[in-house]
Amino acid sequence: MADYRLYCMGESGNAYKAALMLELCRLSWEPVWVDFFHGETRTAEYRSTFNEMGEVPVLEHDGKKLSQSGVILDYLTEVTGQFGAKDADERREVWRWILFDNHKFTASLATLRYLIQFAKTGETPVTEFLRARIINALKIVDHHLQDKPFIVGGRPTIADLSMVGYLHYGDELTVPLGDFANVSRWMDAVKALPGWAHPYDLMPSAPGKSSR
């Protein structure tokens, strides 16, 4: 039996953040598919047993159940000593970018992708608003990366794994990532890390939902 169990689905960029960390750290782990599209996360059983917030991912390890991707990444850094900060100042910088990701990147990217890719809403004022918000955030990140290979400290940290979580879904995002040269270079640097894999290759997906 694997040491770690990740309750997840291939469509979730937040789950991918945790799955990628597990894979890059060469840990013994297994994905457990959660049927989000048929309401599993909204059931009383799921909320009482796994996550009262009704979300994925959930990481099960050593008798613990952890939710929220940032918390999971931080926990795995503590356990493995990998992809962490070298001192207190750097740790604050890592968390500054993880919070930026959660507020500006993931919140908008995930919602836009869900509306276009899964809810099939087509373009609406809401999707236009979200795309504009994402592009503004990408401009910030692209500028930050103009003289840096990674987000913090010149080496990959959990800040990178958090921020890149949704970006490797490519065309599903309906965002012009190719317009941001530094972001594209950084994505390639993360992709070149030993053990990197695409989200749909790391986690099971709902039948008919994955475009890969």
| CATH numbers and ranges of domains, the chain | 4-83+196-202 (3.40.30.10), 88-191 (1.20.1050.10)
Tokens describing residue 184:
């594209």
Tokens describing residue 117:
């890719």
Q: Which residues pair with 32 in a beta bridge?
A: 7
* Residues recorded for the chain: 212
Closest listed residue to residue 7, CA positions, set 62, 78, 68: 68
212 residues of the chain, pLDDT tens digit each:
899 999 999 999 999 999 999 999 999 999 999 999 998 999 999 999 999 998 999 999 999 999 999 999 999 999 999 999 999 999 999 999 999 999 999 999 999 999 999 999 999 999 999 999 999 999 999 999 999 999 998 999 999 999 999 999 999 999 999 999 999 999 999 999 999 999 999 999 988 666 55
Run of H or E including 158: helix 158-163
| pTM reported for the whole predicted model | 0.95
